[in-house]
Amino acid sequence: SQTIHQWPATLVQPVGSPLSLECTVEGTSNPNLYWYRQAAGRGLQLLFYSVGIGQISSEVPQNLSASRPQDRQFILSSKKLLLSDSGFYLCAWSVPPLRDEQFFGPGTRLTVL
C-alpha cells in the first residue's frame, strides 16, 4: 500500500532563517507531487507541483522553492523565511489518469516568529 511521509511535524523558525521540508512517498512510481499551504481557517493554496524528477511548476510567486531530486521525494525550501510563510504545509501525491484523487501527508505546522 502507498504511504506518504512529511517531516518535521512542527517547526518554529525565526524570520530570515532557511527552511527545508521533506516529503517522501512509498508504494507508487512516478507520482505527481504537490506542495500546498493552508493558512489558519483558509483553503488550500497550491504552491508547487511536479510531474517528474527535476520538473517543478510554481503556482504562486514567493520566496519558496521546490525540488524533486528523486522520483518519490519532494522538498520545499526557503533561503529566508518571512512572517507570512507561517502556515500548515501539506504534501500530496496522485497518479493521473489512473487515480485522479490526491493523497495527502500529515502536514508540517510552520510558525515563523
Partner 1 sequence: SQKIEQNSEALNIQEGKTATLTCNYTNYSPAYLQWYRQDPGRGPVFLLLIRENEKEKRKERLKVTFDTTLKQSLFHITASQPADSATYLCALPPTDSWGKLQFGAGTQVVVTP
Q: Which residues bind partner 1 (CB under 8 A)?
A: 32, 34, 42-44, 46, 49, 51, 88, 90, 92, 94, 96, 100-107, 109
Q: Cell triple for residue 76?
A: 520545499
Residue 67 beta carbon to partner 1: minimum distance, rounded to whole angstroms:
19
Beta carbon nearer to partner 1, 77 or 104: 104
Smallest gap from residue 80 Cβ to partner 1 (A): 27
- φ, ψ for residue 85, nearest 5 deg: -80, -10
Please, which residues have CB within 8 angstroms of residue 97's CB and are 6 or more apart in sequence?
none
In the complex, minimum distance from the CB of residue 53 to partner 1, in angstroms, rounded to a whole number: 16
Comparison of 73 and 94: residue with beta carbon closer to partner 1: 94
